[in-house]
Amino acid sequence: MNIIECRNICKNFGEKVALDHVSVEIPEGQIFGLLGPNGAGKTTLIRIINRITIPSDGEVFFNGRPITQRDVEKIGYLPEERGLYRKMKVGDQAMYLAQLKGMSAKDASNELKKWFVKFGIESWWNKKVEELSKGMAQKIQFITTVVHKPKLLILDEPFSGFDPVNAQLIREEILRLKDEGSTIILSTHNMESVEELCDNIALFNKSHVVLSGNVDDIRREYGNNNVEIEYTDADGRHVEVVEAGEGANAILRQYIEKGVTINSFKELMPRMNDIFIKLVKGE
């Protein structure tokens, strides 16, 4: 089941074409990566899914039906350019944003308090936003994005601005939300987190989708089907790259029979980073 299906989306801003017949299918319960260089049309597509902008042509389906304004309440969106009202108190602000997503004041208050406790930031409730550091504000933004338990979570560069500890915290939360059944669209330039988190991706370039599918499949497809084996024998440590034509077991058996100690064995897959550069530059 696809939670989101974009069919033949086109968007022009005057002369400029931002999206040209783009079709993307986002399966439910997975983490979906939107990749692409700046200006490729990712943000425009995200805004169309959020109904912030209306497509010039094409249609978006949510759970198999054309998307409506009510469906937006089931989406949580963390834009890349994000901010809060500087003069407003953290708690009031979070309450406001949660209520805009259709929560009642009571639910909003209960859920928010849980999140504040979880992140250990209860003491911020009555602080003004301008007193918070950037990282602190980011945490609040993350909470306000997920507080209404969205079925679909759209995160645009969610890790920027976080220190490694907090980035890890957010990463864990994303995985936990996925386990709880949310679908997550992750737009990022950080290819490592794509490899780590995403199940499927779509790579945008110049208003088109140039590559889409399962991350592992893509990496295999672009790889040379090699494996890397590291072993120790009488002469010391060795690293060898072998063609994996015969299958991993056969190769391993071969080495074990040689009487060497195997330290590690892994499938050699190209980095997403290399695939990204190859595709974007190559066109």
Partner 1 sequence: MNFRIIRVIIGREYMTRVKKKSFLVTTFVVPVLFALLCSIPALILTLSKGKDKTIAYVDESGYVSGKLEDTKQVAFEDFTGHLSAEELKAQMDNLDFDGILLITPKAEGKEADVNVTTYSTKPVSVEIKEMLTQQIEEAVEDYRLQQYEIDGLKEIMQDVKADVQIVTYTIDEDGEEKETSSEVFMIISMLLSMIIYMFVSMFAGTVMQSVIEEKSSRIVEVLVSSVKAIELMIGKIVGVALVALTQFFLWIVLTVVLVGAFSSIVGFDKLVEGSSSTTQMMEMAGMDSSMMDPSTMTMTMDEHSELGAVLETLQNINYVQLIVAFVLFFVLGYLLYASLFAAVGSAVDNEADTNQLVLPLTIPLMIGFFVGLYAFNSPDSQLVWWCSMIPFTSPIVMLSRIPFGVATWELILSLGLLFLTFLGGAWVSAKIYKVGILMYGKKSSFKDLWKWIRMK
Q: Which residues bind partner 1 (CB under 8 A)?
A: 14, 47, 50, 52-54, 56, 69, 72-73, 75, 77-79, 81-88, 92, 96-97, 99-102, 141, 144-145
Report which residue type is found at 124: W
Give long-range contacts, CB 8 A cutoff, 24+ apart: 164-170.
166/135, 166/138, 166/139, 169/119, 170/142
CA atoms within 13 A on the CB side of 255: 23
Residues whose CB is less than 8 angstroms from the CB of residue 245 and which lie 6 or more positions away in sequence, other chains included:
225
Q: What are phi and psi of 177, to 5 degrees?
A: -65, -35
Q: Which residue's CB is nearer to partner 1, number 43 or number 190? A: 43
| Minimum CB distance to partner 1, residue 62 (Å) | 14
Summary count for the chain: helices (H), strands (E): 9, 13
Nearest distance from C-beta of residue 197 to partner 1, angstroms: 22
Residue of 138, 135, 118, 116 whose CA lies nearest to 126? 116
Closest CB to partner 1 among residues 73, 173: 73
Q: How far is the CB of 129 from partner 1 (least distance, A)?
A: 9
Write down the least CB distance from residue 242 to partner 1, Å: 50
Q: Which of 215, 169, 175 is nearest to 192 (CA)?
A: 215
Per-residue burial over 194-219, b = 16 or more CB atoms within 10 Å of its CB, e = otherwise: bbebbebbbbbbebbbbbbeebeebb
Tokens standing for residue 134: 């950037």
Report the residue number, 86 or 258, with the smaller CB distance to partner 1.
86
Task: Tell me how far, at minimum, the Cβ of 183 lies from partner 1, in Å.
Answer: 16
For partner 1, the closer of residues 51 and 206 by Cβ is: 51
Residue (68 or 123) nearer to partner 1, CB: 68
Residue 100 vs 239, nearer CB to partner 1 = 100
CB of 153 to partner 1, least distance (A): 12
How far apart are the C-alpha atoms of 37 and 259, rounded to whole Å?
48
